[in-house]
Amino acid sequence: MPDREARISGELYIGLMSGTSVDGIDAALVDFEPSRPKLLGHCYQPWPQAIRDRLKKLSQPGDNEIEQLGHADIAVANHFADVVSELLRQTGIKPWQTRAIGSHGQTVRHRPGADHPFTLQIGDPNQLAEKTGITVVADFRRRDMAAGGEGAPLAPAFHAAFLRSSVEYRVILNLGGIANITLLPADPKTGIIGFDTGPANTLMDAWIHYSQQHRFDAHGAWAARGQVISELLDRLLDDNYFKRPPPKSTGPELFNLDWLNQYLVNQSNYRPEDIQASLCALSSHSIIQAINQYAPDCERVICCGGGTRNPVLMQQLQQGLDATVETTAEHGIDPDQIEAMAFAWLARQTLQHLPGNLPDVTGAHHPVILGGIYQAWTNDSEKVDPAC
């Protein structure tokens, strides 16, 4: 197929991402040659409800965790392998044409503030390498943590490499379960910082699931029907996390229904849709506050992640910020694929012996080469291209 051969440079990587929303797995096939990453294909598979429930349960302390973790580690790897197979089938690419998979894994616990700080992503890379026949780079976060960092966020290095401008101050805003920002000043001599601002979708998802058994608030329609309860919003915004200076990172370990319930005690008069509206406002206000405080000169906020499909959230951001608000689509990068693309790039950094963390972002003492490498087993005779 001459067309396809012309498109492939031999620098193909697959990025695999499943974020804190536990919605599903994103797989992106990325070509890194000549210079800008080019998305050749992508595939999304939602988690089956049973495994989603197991993963959510595992992200909170519970019974028999080691046994549960062991099973989930393999089950998640099997799903990752299925998504990779489907991506390869759709794109017509053979495993040997790719250099590696960068697999973020599914976070089941992120405790950067613990006495012994730790973070845990599952989806056994040994299984993934065996099942796909592709080298896997995985376990990206723990080396940064070992170097004194939060282990998160890691996408900022990718944002800096491909979305920084020399003429305007940009902020990249990822609206996943958690919201994280990367501040990209125009002056290349000014350092880059980035951090988790707090919830983006995770509390809205949890509240609509609890109240209405929907997985998420499609297009923010339920939040749009409610009125923001300003005294509740003020109390939520008073949480210490929003006041802490960066570096900082968080997850559903903190921002969950238990966290919300502390503020709802004796408040049975609140309407559920007003609580949803207040949670949406909590996300937008905490993001706006963080950008205004740490990037007051920002001219453009470039958004990605599932929250870009929530027009209520997007409108509040546009109204509250003194900058143009748009998505990465305006810059040629699919907002739903950028995180998976970032992990494809991080795998490439690792194989090229280059660091993947930004110490000013994560708080690490120094840049580090991230992740472990799980080599593909290859029978060289299988690598011979039958077309040659």
Tell me whether residue 310 or residue 349 sits nearer to ligand ADP (CB atom): 310
On whether the CB atoms of residues 194 and 298 are closer than 8 A, the answer is no
Residue 201 binding result from ligand ADP, Mg ion, none, given CB thresholds of 5 to 8 Å by partner type:
ligand ADP
* 156 contributes a contact to Mg ion by CB under 5 A: no
What is the distance between the alpha carbons of residues 336 and 341, in angstroms, rounded to a whole number?
A: 10
* 305 contributes a contact to ligand ADP by CB under 6 A: yes
Token code pair at residue 215:
């997985």
CB within 8 A of 117, min separation 6: which ones?
111, 145, 150, 151
User: Which residue from 12, 13, 15, 19 is in contact with Mg ion, where contact means CB under 5 A?
Assistant: 19
> Measured from the CB of residue 305, what is the shortest distance to ligand ADP in angstroms?
3
Site string for ligand ADP, 309-328 (x = CB under 6 A): xx------------------
On whether the CB atoms of residues 108 and 124 are closer than 8 A, the answer is no
> Measured from the CB of residue 214, what is the shortest distance to ligand ADP in angstroms?
10
* 273 contributes a contact to Mg ion by CB under 5 A: no
Site string for ligand ADP, 14-53 (x = CB under 6 A): -----xxx-x------------------------------
Token code pair at residue 368:
């580090």
Tell me whether residue 36 or residue 219 sits nearer to ligand ADP (CB atom): 219
- Count of residues near ligand ADP by CB under 6 A: 19
- Count of residues near Mg ion by CB under 5 A: 3
CB within 8 A of 361, min separation 6: which ones?
153, 156, 157, 182, 192, 193, 194, 195, 246, 247
> Measured from the CB of residue 202, what is the shortest distance to ligand ADP in angstroms?
7
**Nearest alpha-carbon partner for 309 in 212, 184, 213, 223:** 223
* 216 contributes a contact to ligand ADP by CB under 6 A: yes
> Measured from the CB of residue 23, what is the shortest distance to ligand ADP in angstroms?
4
What is the distance between the alpha carbons of residues 39 and 30, in angstroms, rounded to a whole number?
A: 5
CB within 8 A of 107, min separation 6: which ones?
19, 20, 59, 119, 120, 121, 251
What is the distance between the alpha carbons of residues 7 and 117, in angstroms, rounded to a whole number?
A: 44
What is the distance between the alpha carbons of residues 80 and 16, in angstroms, rounded to a whole number?
A: 7
* 185 contributes a contact to ligand ADP by CB under 6 A: no
> Measured from the CB of residue 23, what is the shortest distance to Mg ion in angstroms?
4
* 23 contributes a contact to Mg ion by CB under 5 A: yes
Interaction site with ligand ADP (CB under 6 A):
19-21, 23, 176-177, 201, 205, 216-220, 305-307, 309-310, 339
